Amino acid sequence: MRQDPFGGGDRRQPGRAPRRRFGMRFIVLLLFAGYGAYYYFSNQSVDPVTGETVLIDRALDVKQEKALGLEAYQEILGQERPVDPDSEISKEVRLIAERLIAKVDVVEAELAREHGLEPTRFSETFEWEVNVLESDQANAFCLPGGKMAVYTGLIPVAKNSDALAVVMGHEIAHALLRHGAQRMAQQKLTQVGQMAGAMSGMDPQQQQMVMAAMGYGYLLPYARKHETEADNVGLMLAAAACFDPREAVPLWERMSEASGGQAPPEFSSTHPNPGTRIQTLEALMPKALEYRAKFCEDAQGSSASLPQRT
């Protein structure tokens, strides 16, 4: 063994290297946290429709968002079978969509006015399109750019045009509020967190625990908030388009029955449970009826049954 000529010997002490590794891990986490905070605060804006501060990447412009929506829509249409556009149900769905779309501007402006803000008119360049897709799913969607679809499985659950308009209004609201862009920004923050965990030397179990905490504490509550916002805006939109917003409550009761009560606990879901949703809709009902009286030119319309497919 080589002798130290100054008699110092090996001065390394047990535990010193681990402390150095811990210090490096802290620095890496601090750097990523700083970048995440910068990204979060530099990409915030106020949504005039909800009055809420939202996170949307400023690098994502409207054209890019529409292009992403169109790409996703074309991919879905390549996998799902659209119903004959001349069928009764397709015509009825298009008619409902036309009535809802015709009220987008006035509802957007009215909600923004309530918050003392000017509307963004984000949907002015939307190229609206709606298809009915053959599927047992009781579902519908509206992508950025106005590309919409209603699944045939939703028809027997909705039962009437008013209830279907509530669902379609809800989906249109997601596109108007740019919830897709907000989710993309959240995913970027999630990726930053994953990179921080990997580069700081966390083991897979530690990384999984951190991401689970982020999911339950931030991502899932934010997703449920999106659903509540879409319920609010969608209900006002359906009411302004002369549909009866009161059909929203029995609709969600039927949706709950159709799911067989198999929904996960609310804290672990992206959606509010049906009971919470119904309470929210009931609380919004007086305002929705005011919108119907104010913006519907014919507030005496009746609930029409939807054509049943054979």
pLDDT for 224 equals 87
pLDDT for 152 equals 96
Asked whether the beta carbons of 73 and 142 are under 8 A apart, the reply is no
pLDDT for 13 equals 52
Predicted confidence pLDDT, tens digits, the chain (310 residues):
444 443 444 445 555 555 555 566 667 767 777 878 888 899 999 999 999 999 999 999 888 999 999 999 999 999 998 999 999 999 999 999 999 999 999 999 999 999 999 999 889 989 999 999 999 999 999 999 999 999 999 999 999 999 999 999 999 999 999 999 999 998 888 777 777 666 655 666 655 665 555 544 555 666 889 999 999 999 999 999 999 999 999 999 998 887 766 665 544 466 777 888 999 999 999 999 999 999 998 654 556 677 765 4
Q: At what angle do helices 16-42 and 179-199 cross, to 10 degrees?
A: 170
pLDDT for 262 equals 61
pLDDT tens column, 47-72: 999 999 999 999 998 889 999 999 99
Name, in order, each residue with C-beta under 8 angstroms of 307's C-beta and a sequence gap of 6 or more.
87, 88, 89, 92
Q: Could you tell me the pTM of the whole model?
A: 0.83
Q: Is the dihedral of CA 206, 208, 212, 218 positive or negative?
A: positive
pLDDT for 292 equals 97
Identity of the amino acid at 292: R
